[in-house]
Amino acid sequence: MSLIEKLTPEQEALIPVYREKWRALALSTDRIDREKAGEAIKIVYEVIGLSKPEILFFDSPLAAFKSVNANLKNNYSNLEKYWYRWNLPNYLLKTYHDLFIKILNFLGELLSEDLFSSLSNELYFDLDICFFFWQQVIQHLITQEDIPNEVLSFLESDMRVEPEEWIQRCCLIEIGFVIFNAPYNSKGWQLLQGLVENCGWVYPFKEICIVCDRPLHLRFDNQNRLHAEGEPAIEFIDGYSLYSYHGVTLPEKYGKIHPQQWQSQWVLTEENAELRRVLIQGIGYARICQELQTIELDNWQEYTLLKIDNNVDIEPIYLLKMTCPSTSSIHALRVPPNMNSAREAIRWVNWGIDPEEFVVQT
């Protein structure tokens, strides 16, 4: 059988439809339908001969972990009630893995290497956003001081069903059997589809199944990184929120304040290097060089080479300050700390062109 080198017009038209379907589901802020979620979970348990568990719905992952913590407090022997001396997680993971690998192998044999690579990249590039921003939620939850290690271990286990991670592969699975007629296990697909489409995070245990609702709001920048200014980037209905600035998670003390109101002095007291970088980016060098103590090293015409006289960043901060002759507005750019004069800094900014030559060319 010869390899397929090019998709038909119908196939090319259908692929974006399925990609957008799963992307919309991954980024959905609709409340889950608890009745449908309960039915999907009941079916999964019945398939492997387990009774329907007690289903506990929570408005956010943090609420779920706090509840588990309250049940386990001073009695960690109850952990067995939640933990994994049984085979449901393994069954789900095996079903999911078998579906994905079989269809992946089928497409690998059906499509040319270039076409298969192009299809995979097209799907994953658009859906990676879902995986990465939920990883930030997990890391943020781990920092919650009132959740003990025994409960936090849920976060790091293979117990959870996380739609944002499974959605990437579910998209490829569905495209495989709908568009390319790949053979598949229809029963296994129905189980996975029911969970992913009708639930948020799911932690399935023998007697209890924890279901976390979707966020109320999700906000991103134009590069699909979690981002919001003066408000949460992720917000759940119960108030649990995560603040982020262009993909960097912020503490609430910074995140709830608009960057225009950030104070330059914070840069001097912030110990985390990444957060210092974000503060510098948000505040801007122009404000920083006006509001913090700076040393004038050299000047040339309307340009001044400055150094911030504080241990603000990992390496010394050198700034080229430019004052507009007509408006007196100030602009500042960071330059390497090995600059010895304003003219040298101007050359660096202008890609090696001397400032006098630059004026002539302009």
Q: What is the pLDDT of residues 156-167, one digit of tens each?
A: 555 566 666 678
Q: For the chain, what percent of residues have pLDDT higher than 90?
A: 31
Residue 220: inside a domain, yes or no?
no
Work out the average pLDDT over 237-262.
95
pLDDT of residue 249: 93
Residue 249: inside a domain, yes or no?
no
Among 153, 182, 214, the domain boundary falls at 214
Q: Is 80 exceeded by the pLDDT of residue 69?
A: no
Same domain assignment for residues 33 and 113: yes
3-state secondary structure of 221: coil
Same domain assignment for residues 157 and 41: yes
Work out the average pLDDT over 250-255.
95
Residue 111: inside a domain, yes or no?
yes
Q: What is the mean pLDDT of the chain?
A: 82
Residue 286: inside a domain, yes or no?
yes
pLDDT of residue 106: 92
pLDDT of residue 305: 93
pLDDT of residue 110: 92
pLDDT of residue 44: 83
Same domain assignment for residues 57 and 177: yes
pLDDT of residue 135: 76
Q: Is 50 exceeded by the pLDDT of residue 228?
A: yes
Q: Do residues 208 and 159 touch, judged by C-beta distance below 8 A?
A: no
pLDDT of residue 127: 61
pLDDT of residue 85: 42
Work out the average pLDDT over 86-100.
69
Q: What does the alpha-carbon distance between residue 266 and residue 268 come to, in Å, rounded to a whole number?
A: 5
Same domain assignment for residues 54 and 135: yes
Residue 274: inside a domain, yes or no?
yes
Same domain assignment for residues 276 and 128: no
User: Residue 142 is inside which H or E element, if any?
Assistant: helix 113-142
Q: 54: which strand partners?
A: 208
Lowest-confidence range among 74-78, 149-153, 244-248? 74-78
Instruction: Please work out, in degrees rounded to the nearest 5, the angle formed at the alpha carbon of residue 185 by the alpha carbons of 184 and 187.
Output: 145
Of residues 315 and 84, more confidently modeled = 315
> pLDDT tens digit string along 286-338?
788 788 878 889 999 889 998 887 666 677 888 888 887 787 777 778 889 89
Among 187, 214, 241, the domain boundary falls at 214
| DSSP one-letter code for 6 | S
The domain total for the chain is 2
Work out the average pLDDT over 15-35.
91
Same domain assignment for residues 204 and 339: no
What's the chain's length in residues? 362
Among 199, 214, 229, the domain boundary falls at 214
Work out the average pLDDT over 30-37.
95
3-state secondary structure of 127: helix
Torsion of Cα atoms, 97 then 92 then 215 then 149, to 10°: -100
Q: Is 80 exceeded by the pLDDT of residue 28?
A: yes
pLDDT of residue 361: 44
Residue 323: inside a domain, yes or no?
yes
* Domain boundaries, position 291: 266-361
Same domain assignment for residues 45 and 137: yes
pLDDT of residue 240: 94
> pLDDT tens digit string along 176-205?
999 999 998 888 888 888 888 998 888 877
Joined tokens for residue 352: 């090696």
Residue 16: inside a domain, yes or no?
yes
Q: What does the alpha-carbon distance between residue 344 and residue 242 come to, in Å, rounded to a whole number?
A: 43
Same domain assignment for residues 136 and 62: yes
Residue type for 165, please?
E
Q: Work out the pLDDT band at 84, boundaries 50, 70, 90.
A: very low
Residue 278: inside a domain, yes or no?
yes
Work out the average pLDDT over 134-153.
73
Q: Work out the pLDDT band at 47, boundaries 50, 70, 90.
A: confident
> pLDDT tens digit string along 217-226?
999 999 889 9
